[in-house]
Amino acid sequence: MKIACVLGPMFEDSEFKDPYDALRSAGHEVTIVGLEAGAVLEGSKGKVKAKADKSFKDVKPNDFDALLIPGGSSPDKLRAHDEAVQFVKAFMTARKPVFAICHGPQLLLTADEYKGHRMTAWKTVLGDLQKAGADVVDQEVVVDGNLVTSRMPADIPSFIRESLKVLERAPAKR
């Protein structure tokens, strides 16, 4: 399947690289979508660099079957831009698979796509979601329909396992 990975500066290194690698190893095509095509983004721990393949202006949600939102400071940087928020919102509205870890669910909060969805997130974001009225739970991975969420780097193996399971059963919707 074709998967968009939305990425901004200061992403959490392993929360990008491990799911990205696992999705590609499973045969999926992953496109890194950022604020500027060709921009080289650095992880907050300085271990991983990634180049944005496309900007939000270059792509449409309909070009993709699923969405990956890594954590770190990246989601808060992205959600300051309406083009990123609307891109994410379209996947939720279409009920396509969305995989968000750590601070990733901040994009769901800003996109107004949290009510009626059971989810988890990094603890500071979990509190924000809860105060906004989301149905939150503090566990390593939460699968709610096509939405998979996790809290932190230690949860990555469960996050990848459940994300791949969702892709196996989700029909391509493009």
For binding to a copy of itself (CB under 8 A), which residues are involved? Answer: 10, 73, 76, 79-80, 106, 109-110, 112, 122-124, 127-128, 131-133
Residues pairing with 41 in the sheet = 50
Told to judge if 102 belongs to the known catalytic residues of this protein, a careful annotator would answer yes
Alpha-helical (H) ranges within 32-148 are: 74-78, 82-93, 105-110, 123-131
Q: Considering 5, 28, 81, 103, which one is annotated as catalytic? A: 103
Q: Name which of 131 and 169 has its Cβ closer to a copy of itself.
A: 131
Count the neighbouring beta carbons within 10 Å of the beta carbon of residue 116: 10
Local structure of 114: helix, strand or coil: coil
Backbone φ, ψ for residue 82 (5° rounding): -60, -30
Q: Name which of 14 and 106 has its Cβ closer to a copy of itself.
A: 106
The nearest distance, CB 137 to a copy of itself, in angstroms, is: 18
Count the neighbouring beta carbons within 10 Å of the beta carbon of residue 102: 29
Local structure of 173: helix, strand or coil: coil
Told to judge if 5 belongs to the known catalytic residues of this protein, a careful annotator would answer no
The nearest distance, CB 71 to a copy of itself, in angstroms, is: 11
The nearest distance, CB 22 to a copy of itself, in angstroms, is: 27
Q: Name which of 30 and 92 has its Cβ closer to a copy of itself.
A: 92
Question: What is the set of active-site residues?
Answer: 102-103
